Amino acid sequence: MQPSVKTELFIAQQTSSYAVNRVARLTARAFSIGLLLSGAETLLNAFSQLPHLNTVPTLIAMALLALSQLLIFATAWFAPEYNWALTSYALVVAGILLFWHVQVPADQPLPEGFQPWVWWALGAASLSAALSMPLIYGASYLVLQPIAWFLIHIADFGGAASFQRATQDAVYTFLWSACFSMLLLFLRYEARKVDLANEQMVAAKTRAAQIDAIEQERARVDALIHDKVLTTLLVAANAETKQKFEHARSLARQALSALKEAKSETDESDEAITSYSLFGVLFDRYRRDDSEFAFSETGASDLNVPKAVVAALAEATLQAAENSLVHAGPNVQRSISVRGTAKKIKIVIKDDGRGFRVSRIPKNRLGVRMSIIKRMESAGGRAVIDSAPGRGTSVILEWTAK
């Protein structure tokens, strides 16, 4: 059963085949750039307040904040995983806020109207927590951080702000963070709907391919039986000698035997399908005039392919083809090659598009890991992905009969 979109509306960490991962990556990159700019302002304010604070603890806090900002930028642009960097930034800001009193000298009062420099990092930290943490933790951070700020800001070591000023600052922090978090999470919600639609489309195409393969197999068997029966009738009609009658009788027995076998195959059509029918379905799907794939096939035979293998090969082929259409880019040459032997089936889906580093496939990219690699492994086959940036992609599916 597919998960409901509503159950994933506010979940920051989602599984995806493409859309959610793409939106999350673009969001993290945009956030990393904005964070560098706002982080520069935060650190400049911290430097300006150094005369009023304990130097060593303040410099340590500033260094941790700067390091966490740089980690977000580096991972968002150059690493496959970046959520841990977003979480670390939120935790660093929370630590600075909770241990703010360590930065304030005990024997030196703060100037009137003093605004602790960590204030300028609160909004970005809440947004970072909402985007990277599970729902319960992200929501708790959004609520508890403004409360902590209020309690610190009205205290002497936090600037001794008035109740009204501290309340305004806390409410502003919460509303700013909550609004932007909701906006970004709704973007992920819409992207998730696209992912679910793609998953359902691939599942529907896979099922249609299975049905088509079964129908083609039945048609093939019917044609064979028709030929046997017709041949028998023609021989019987022209029989004039005892030898020819015996030959007609032998053909009749063969025809009856073939009819029984056909009934058995029809009753068990979900159990095995020949490679003839499997290749025929792929041929029909990708040899159309509007197909973006050049299709070739050789070696179709009477090799019986179990139902589970047919489903796995069909799904993996459809998913690999869909990935090529979505990811490879424009003006790309694409091909599907289907090869068969007496014991083996090999399908190669290839393009000369953008390509990617296979080792850097995110763990939440289920289209590659689950619908192709794991799907083939579950059916006793294997999938090999050969790709590199700028060198295109080849997906090789193989299954060998035991």
User: 75-108, pLDDT tens digit by residue?
Assistant: 999 987 899 999 999 999 999 999 999 999 988 8
Average pLDDT value over all residues in the chain: 80
- The predicted pLDDT at position 15 comes to 42
Residues 280 and 372 in one domain: yes
Average pLDDT over every residue of 116-127: 94
Residues ≥6 apart with Cβ < 8 Å to 296: 335, 336, 337, 338
The reply to whether 342 falls in a domain is yes
Query: pTM of the prediction?
Result: 0.59
Domain end (from 176, 197, 218): 197
Q: What is the pLDDT of residues 10-57, one digit of tens each?
A: 333 434 446 677 788 888 899 999 999 999 999 999 999 999 999 999
Q: Are 152 and 100 in contact (CB under 8 A)?
A: yes
261: helix, strand or coil: helix
Domain end (from 197, 223, 242): 197
Residues 281 and 381 in one domain: yes
396: helix, strand or coil: strand
The highest-confidence range among 196-210, 225-239, 340-354, by mean pLDDT, is 340-354
Residues 128 and 38 in one domain: yes
In which band, very low, low, confident or very high, does the pLDDT at 208 lie, cut at 50, 70 and 90? low
We report the CATH number of the domain holding residue 384 as 3.30.565.10
The reply to whether 134 falls in a domain is yes
The reply to whether 261 falls in a domain is no
- The predicted pLDDT at position 145 comes to 94
Average pLDDT over every residue of 229-240: 54
Range with the lowest mean pLDDT among 232-246, 267-281, 324-338, 341-355? 232-246
Buried b (16+ CB within 10 A) or exposed e, 38-69: ebeebbebbeebeeebbeebbeebbebbbebb
In which band, very low, low, confident or very high, does the pLDDT at 60 lie, cut at 50, 70 and 90? very high
Range with the lowest mean pLDDT among 112-116, 126-130, 191-195, 275-279? 191-195
pLDDT of residue 360 exceeding 60: yes
Domain end (from 161, 178, 197): 197
Q: What is the pLDDT of residues 163-201, one digit of tens each?
A: 999 999 999 989 988 888 888 878 777 777 766 666 566
Residues 159 and 305 in one domain: no
- The predicted pLDDT at position 8 comes to 39
Q: Containing domain of residue 399, as a range?
A: 271-402
The reply to whether 239 falls in a domain is no
DSSP 16: B
In which band, very low, low, confident or very high, does the pLDDT at 206 lie, cut at 50, 70 and 90? low
| H-run or E-run covering 397 | strand 393-400
The reply to whether 252 falls in a domain is no
Range with the lowest mean pLDDT among 21-30, 60-69, 198-207, 326-335? 198-207
- Name the percent of the chain lying above pLDDT 90: 38
- The predicted pLDDT at position 374 comes to 83
In which band, very low, low, confident or very high, does the pLDDT at 1 lie, cut at 50, 70 and 90? very low
The reply to whether 236 falls in a domain is no
Domain count, the chain: 2
